[in-house]
Structure 1
Amino acid sequence: MTMAEARQQDWIGRTETRTGCLTADLAGMLAGALGHAAAPVPDLAPGAPMPPLWHWAAFPEFVPLSELGTDGHPRLGGFLPPLPYARRMWAGGRLRFEGGFAIGEALQKRSEILAVDEKQGATGPMVFVRVGHRIEGAAGGLIEEEQDIVYLDIPETFTPPRKLPLPEAPAFDERVVVNEARLFRYSAATYNAHRIHYDLPYAREVEKYPSLVVHGPMQASLVMEAGLRHVGGAPRAFRFRGVHPMFADEDMRLIGTRTEDGAVELCTGTPSGHQCLQARLEVA
């Protein structure tokens, strides 16, 4: 193990604890970002059930502007390790649910760095940081979550991943309009200043993307809502991973297929016919 790898491993086991709350105002902001023609408007009053995955907006990082990196993310070295890579992305995650949360309910989150793994990808070296979260509500609800955060270098030119075809004959296939206003609203609701989602010159000239990038968590929230609406029940487990960037120059398709074990295989896709985010939903 090199000295750099040893320093990376020193971050394993680091923890932080935070309190949070999805207020009615924040819930309204999320509803404005995630709403579309096929989805009913949720009850946003204090005490109403919190839609699944909306806890992602309940713990904003109030970092001063002076402590942001050039990409808009908080600078590394606080809770997350300061790795020498210019691009940082949320690559996927896994969640298990017990009960639920309410809008306005006090929440407690304990986070821990579980693993720091260096790998060789198609475009060069990358490091995956696996972060565990335990989110507990004052009324007894619980979410156990793991997030995979990937660090890698920015390439000189954008080389897209292999495009995976969309499922044939799905149980549902909905379309969501994607535009700059939706991306801005989701960034605002989640207090996410990563510039690839709203700053087109930065996305193109610095991070080498062809267009603005659609948030992975927003895709996950939209496709999970569609899955629950079509199959019913309460979420028991959910996992997702990005397989291709989604860009704001195409609308989003929400696609789901039932499996023999009662789960739902989900994906987001493009009208041109390839997957962007894959997911699996299990319901109780």
Structure 2
Amino acid sequence: MSGLDLAHLRQWIGRSETRSEQVTDAMVDRFKATFDEPGETRDGDPAPAMIHLCVAPPAAPTSGLGGDGHPARGGFLPPVPLPRRMWAGGALTFHDDIRVGERVTRVSTIRDVTVKEGRTGTLCFVTVDHRIDSAGRLAAEERQDIVYRGIEAPAGSGKAPPAAARGAQQMTVRPSAVLLFRYSALTFNGHRIHYDAPYAASVEGYPGLIVHGPMQATMLLRFAERLRGARPVRFDFRSLSPLFDTADFTLNAENDGEGLRLWTCRADGPVAMEAFASW
């Protein structure tokens, strides 16, 4: 099938790690500045939704990074021997606010490791559960789906997917190199596909810098929050195709029962990330 030693990789199931960090007013100010959100930040205020993705990221030493800027394989995540690692999607349940000045603790546990054969080759999926506490209160529960894959077929090969529809509510985003760099800095993400254009083109074969999946999820959730006037209780999302900094993209929303169906796409392009928010 793939040559992967699945039995070995599945030995990582059940492994856990705990990380914590204080959510400071400076962290929140940087988050707001990145997304052009106004407002003063004061201790005790609710922190912006999705800021937990910026809290206590893995801090591998520079000497321990691979050529792509990611930490070397092994450690908490299983050492999957496939060159590309991506955030495939996940789900969030929000229970309480994270407040500025509180210490946030994230307990992460590997739930599952599976291997599938996809259109472009072998795919290895790692499912990670996170429990996020703030000052001892349960703030959120999260499932993250991480996919590892080989080098894909050349861009433009195969049948192009259909263009996405326009949402009843829509907002345009310009994915500038500065925006992508700032989000990489917020999350301490050294992956070069998000800020090093020559590397992304000549080594990874991409037409431009890749827009982060977590940043798209953050934008969609906060778009839903603005439309409904309250943070969703549940947010599910899935990445379907990449977005690059070569063109603007849109955040889209449609009413769907008591919730909102959301997606990102570029003009005349396919859905990049789809999501559903419910209250």
Q: TM-score range by the shorter chain?
A: over 0.9
Q: Which residue of 2 aligns with 1:10?
A: 11
Q: Which amino acid aligns with 2:68?
A: D
* Residue in structure 2 matching 1:236, options 233, 236, 259: 233
Q: Which residue of 2 aligns with 1:280?
A: 276
Instruction: Structure 2: state its 5+ residue gaps.
Output: none
Q: Which residue of 2 aligns with 1:218?
A: 215
Deviation at 1:237, TM superposition (A): 0.4
Q: Which amino acid aligns with 1:222?
A: M
Distance 1:98 1:219 in 2: 22
Q: Which amino acid aligns with 1:197?
A: H
Residue by residue over 1:56-114, the C-alpha shift from the partner in whole angstroms, topping out at 9 and shown as x without a partner, is 00112221101111111111211000011011111111010111111221111111110
Instruction: Structure 1: state its 5+ residue gaps.
Output: none
User: How many residues are matched?
Assistant: 277
Deviation at 1:162, TM superposition (A): 4.6
Q: Which amino acid aligns with 2:264?
A: T
Q: Which residue of 1 aligns with 2:90?
A: 93
Q: Which residue of 2 aligns with 1:124?
A: 121
Q: What TM-score do you get using the length of structure 2 for normalisation?
A: 0.93
2:260–2:276 CA contact under 8 A, matched in 1: yes
Q: Which residue of 2 aligns with 1:78?
A: 75
SS where residue 32 of structure 2 aligns? helix
The alignment status of 1:199 with 2:196, answered yes or no, reads yes
Q: Which residue of 1 aligns with 2:27?
A: 26
Give the fraction of aligned pairs with identical amino acids, expressed as a percent: 39
Q: Which residue of 1 aligns with 2:165?
A: 167
Distance 1:273 1:133 in 2: 32
Q: Which residue of 1 aligns with 2:252?
A: 255
* Residue in structure 1 matching 2:56, options 48, 56, 59: 59
Q: 1:96 to 1:205 in 2, by over 3 A?
A: same
Q: CA RMSD in A?
A: 1.9
The alignment status of 1:147 with 2:148, answered yes or no, reads no
* Residue in structure 2 matching 1:105, options 89, 96, 102: 102
1:101–1:139 CA contact under 8 A, matched in 2: no
SS where residue 5 of structure 2 aligns? helix
2:6–2:114 CA contact under 8 A, matched in 1: no
Distance 1:42 1:87 in 2: 38
Q: 1:21 to 1:182 in 2, by over 3 A?
A: same
Q: Which amino acid aligns with 1:22?
A: V
Q: Which amino acid aligns with 2:102?
A: E
Bigger mean CA offset, 159-168 vs 95-104: 159-168
* Residue in structure 1 matching 2:38, options 38, 41, 44: 41
Q: Which amino acid aligns with 1:275?
A: V
